[in-house]
Structure 1
Amino acid sequence: MKRIILPLFFILAFYGESLFVNFTPHVLFGEERHIIPHFILVLLMMTGIYYFRNQALLYALLFGLLFDVYYTGTIGIYLCLYPIAVYLTTKMIRILHVNILTTTIVITLHLAIVELLVYAFAVLVLRVSMPPAEFASLRLWPTLICNAILCLIIYFPFSRWLQSSQKEKLAE
């Protein structure tokens, strides 16, 4: 039973992203602003920090592929970026003191890198014509703020649950 709790969290976060977009009123942030919730990526990075990195990387591959299939028409961009973001997060956090502030900053930094790489891919390959300043003000900053708030909200319950699950698994 305990083995399905973590994948269940990921599945709920995966579907929670689309529910957030559908049910959040646009007047709250402005009609022209686009908030892209990366709930699953935040959970994956926290799993890499507070649980087993290799397991987080496997889940990142799986949910990166699911994200590509479900949300985008181009398979491969999130399949590559999710594991890279999780890996870089776990490497960076090892040289820092782990607490709520550093975890939120590191996760937000890697979310920004993922968003910038997706934007670069869209501009170069898909020929999307959105100026960088417009991308930053209408998509990047609202996305980073929303996901940083999510990270702050779930930090204590999720990190403590991951740490206790890790201790139980190591004790087995």
Structure 2
Amino acid sequence: MNKNWLIPIFTIIFFGIESNFTNFFPSFLFSENWVFVPRFLLIFFLLQAIYYDEKSAYIYSFVMGLVVDIVFVDILGVHLFWYPATVYVISKIMKSVHPYFIIVTIVSLFGITIFDFGIYAFYYALQITDQSVQSFVSERLFPTLIMNFTFYVIVFYPLRNYFKKIKKQRDEEKGMFQT
């Protein structure tokens, strides 16, 4: 049985969780200046590109980038560009290394860093933000990486196993129809 239909469901679930996460996150436990930004969709897309299919990860990241821009951002194109661009860079890096947990973790955190710096640079260039780089790194990027690392550790094995399973099914189905 083909379980590809779970990918759009996971995408919608992660979008919903990411959208509402800050409403329920106990930020009072941490510094007042820290800003935690969930990047759950990005983690999902990166794992999809690494363990299942790059092309579908590009498509989903493009579509969801557009949705995020329409729903949350006044400027179309920020997430529309950075989601697929980050997936592309990370998938190219992963082609030259083994997809072990620690390596994928480091590369995924690097992907989140690329993504956040890209969005920060875009907003800084348009003068939407005047936050200094040092302030951005200490108050936003660092807390974001910590929070997303925690999420990553929780979802890594279930998502990796799911993507490997449906990739194996897809490859077996492809092999059945070749002569």
For structure 1, which runs of at least 5 residues remain unmatched after alignment? none
AA of the residue aligned to 2:65: G
2:109 matches 1:108: yes
Give the secondary-structure state (helix, strand or coil) at the position aligned to 1:74: coil
Q: Deviations over 1:76-127 (max 9, x none)?
A: 0110111111111111011111111111110110110111111111111134
Structure 2 match to 1:61: 62
Whole-angstrom CA distance in 2 between matches of 1:157 and 1:39: 14
Whole-angstrom CA distance in 2 between matches of 1:148 and 1:136: 16
1:2 deviates by: 2.6
Whole-angstrom CA distance in 2 between matches of 1:2 and 1:130: 44
1:129 deviates by: 1.3
2:40 matches 1:24: no
Mapped contact 1:69–1:75 kept (Cα < 8 A) = yes
Structure 2 match to 1:117: 118
Whole-angstrom CA distance in 1 between matches of 2:127 and 2:16: 26
AA of the residue aligned to 1:118: I
AA of the residue aligned to 2:138: S
Identity of aligned residues (%): 31
AA of the residue aligned to 2:172: A
Structure-to-structure mapping, 1:123-142, within 5 angstroms: 123-142=124-143
1:171 deviates by: 1.6
Mapped contact 2:46–2:90 kept (Cα < 8 A) = yes
AA of the residue aligned to 1:117: G
User: Does the C-alpha gap of structure 1 residues 169 and 106 become closer, same or farther in structure 2, counting only changes over 3 Å?
Assistant: same
| Structure number with larger C-alpha Rg | 2
Whole-angstrom CA distance in 2 between matches of 1:127 and 1:154: 33
Matched positions, count: 172
Superposition CA RMSD, Å: 1.2
Structure 2 match to 1:90: 91
> Please, what TM-score do these two structures have when normalized by structure 2?
0.92
Mapped contact 1:45–1:89 kept (Cα < 8 A) = yes
Mapped contact 1:100–1:152 kept (Cα < 8 A) = no
Whole-angstrom CA distance in 2 between matches of 1:157 and 1:129: 40
Mapped contact 2:4–2:166 kept (Cα < 8 A) = no
Segment of structure 1 superposing worse, 25-34 or 97-106: 25-34
Whole-angstrom CA distance in 2 between matches of 1:7 and 1:161: 13
Segment of structure 1 superposing worse, 6-15 or 146-155: 146-155
Whole-angstrom CA distance in 2 between matches of 1:71 and 1:31: 23
Structure 1 match to 2:80: 79
